[in-house]
Amino acid sequence: MKLTQSKQVQFFLMVSILVWAGAAGVRAEDEDNGDFIHERTYIGGFATYAGIDNGGDFNGTLAGTYGSAAPFEADLIPTISQNVGFAVLLGRREGPWAAEVSYWNSNHSATFNNGNITYQGTATYQSINLDFKRYIFTQFPTQPFISMGISFPWLVVNDGSLYGPLPAPYPANSFFQSNATYTGIGFNLGAGLEIYLGQNFSIVGSLTERWAGYGDILGYNRVHEVPQINGTDVTLQSSGLNFEVGGTFAFADPIF
């Protein structure tokens, strides 16, 4: 069952509030519990392997058509391949808990074929994420963790918005073309392992499942539209298992 965009926003906000409440309720105690890391503020850089859809609306056969008379704007919803990319983050850890803000970027192959229109192109996936981590076995330098958070993704399908006499059995390059930009909100759930090389450096690896709903499309006419499937407004659903590996560097805590 598909959720409306407003219900999705409410759901994701509710989850984030619950995570915040849980973090506040189990914050590290003031006394020394033998944790290897007590607190740190850090930055990080990562190589990523990302994709946005393992089974949703980005299946390469759907397109939204906008306009009441020909010519129409058609925005393709292609399949998106997995590919490598990069991520950077800023984080703060206190005891077993950490909060991180990160930015992900990766380029992908994009494919579309519904019999009337064929398209082979590229797409750029970007996302800003807010995640919370809970570390386990915090007295050791090697620490597993689980993570949960929200994301704000946007996907730019290069030349994925068409303008012309639709529908017609023509290849995509028979139309005027522009980029199609899909934006949305998502929910992240992951697990990983962090190995501390002293107090300042660490090596991190993790995998994260990201669910997202895309409720806005900006295409050839440069007008924000609600995505449509068969003439019905929808929030496009997607999911993807993402991997990252990299490291963090901690700043010296300020002295007050």
Is 247 within the bounds of a domain?
A: yes
Both ends of the chain: CA-CA distance in Å?
53
Spatial separation of the C-alpha atoms in residues 130 and 178, rounded to whole Å: 31
Is 142 within the bounds of a domain?
A: yes
Number of domains in the chain: 1
Q: Which residue has the tokens 């965009």?
A: 5
pLDDT at site 51: 85
For residue 57, the domain's CATH number is 2.40.160.20
**Which residues 6+ apart lie within 8 Å of 204 measured at CB?**
44, 46, 192, 193, 194, 195, 244, 245, 246, 247, 248
**pLDDT > 60? residue 8:** no
Is 34 within the bounds of a domain?
A: no
Mean pLDDT (whole number) for 157-166: 86
Is 172 within the bounds of a domain?
A: yes
Which tens digit of pLDDT belongs to each residue from 106-147?
999 999 998 878 899 999 999 999 999 999 999 999 999 999
What is the span of the domain harbouring residue 207?
5-26+39-251
Spatial separation of the C-alpha atoms in residues 12 and 25, rounded to whole Å: 20
Which tens digit of pLDDT belongs to each residue from 23-41?
444 444 444 568 899 899 9
Instruction: For residue 95, give the DSSP letter.
Output: T
Average pLDDT value over all residues in the chain: 85
Per the model's pLDDT, the better-predicted residue between 36 and 171 turns out to be 36
Which tens digit of pLDDT belongs to each residue from 183-210?
999 999 999 999 999 889 999 999 999 9
Give this prediction's pTM.
0.83
**pLDDT > 80? residue 101:** yes
pLDDT at site 176: 83
